[in-house]
Amino acid sequence: MDAEGSQGGERIVDRLGSGRAALIGGLISIVGTIPFTVITADMSYWFLGVTMAVRGFGVRACAVPAIIAAYCAISPSKIQETTVQLNVGQRIGGAAGTAIFAVILQNQLEKAAGPTDQTAGFGTTFCWVVAVGATAPALLLTAAEPPDRSRTPRHPVRPRYRRPSPDTALTT
């Protein structure tokens, strides 16, 4: 499933360019995060689950084009080095972001007098997530390049194997 998503991401990057594809994913992620800014104690779990799925799709749709662009921009001899750097960068960035937002949430929860105030604290924290998340697509918008249609992709997508139909099968 992951390989299929990467191949689909590769096609989108070839069609739109990595900056635009990542921009679209970032905007989907923000749209999926906005409902959490107005969260209430009686909000439907189904609604929250669907918005989490939309947010996850957006994060993935933003990350895949960026990673594809990184790998396409390097020579094959540098792939091992780049893999390590991308992996470390993602882990450190994810941990740092989580720590920052956890501190913001903890500060909000310490001020909360009851469950309603605690819920509002989560909403405030997600407002910060949206604000920080909106800066990345804004940066991508300024860096979005039109796709270079004059070159073929460095790693073309291979066609899927198709089973021959019984009419075209060879008989002996």
Q: Is the pLDDT of residue 151 over 60?
A: no
CA distance 39 to 140: 28
Per-residue model confidence (pLDDT) at position 8? 60
Mean pLDDT within 114-142: 85
Per-residue model confidence (pLDDT) at position 41? 84
Q: Is the pLDDT of residue 147 over 70?
A: no
Q: What is the mean pLDDT of the chain?
A: 80
Q: What percent of the chain has pLDDT over 90?
A: 35
Condensed to tens digits (0 to 9), the pLDDT of residues 36-70 reads: 999 988 899 999 999 999 999 988 888 888 888 88
Per-residue model confidence (pLDDT) at position 135? 85
How are the residues of the chain apportioned to helix, strand and coil, as percentages rounded to the nearest 5?
A: 75, 0, 25
CA distance 54 to 27: 11
Which residues are CB-neighbours of 69 under 8 A, at least 6 positions away? 13, 18, 22
CA distance 70 to 20: 15
Condensed to tens digits (0 to 9), the pLDDT of residues 96-112 reads: 999 999 999 999 999 98
CA distance 78 to 62: 23
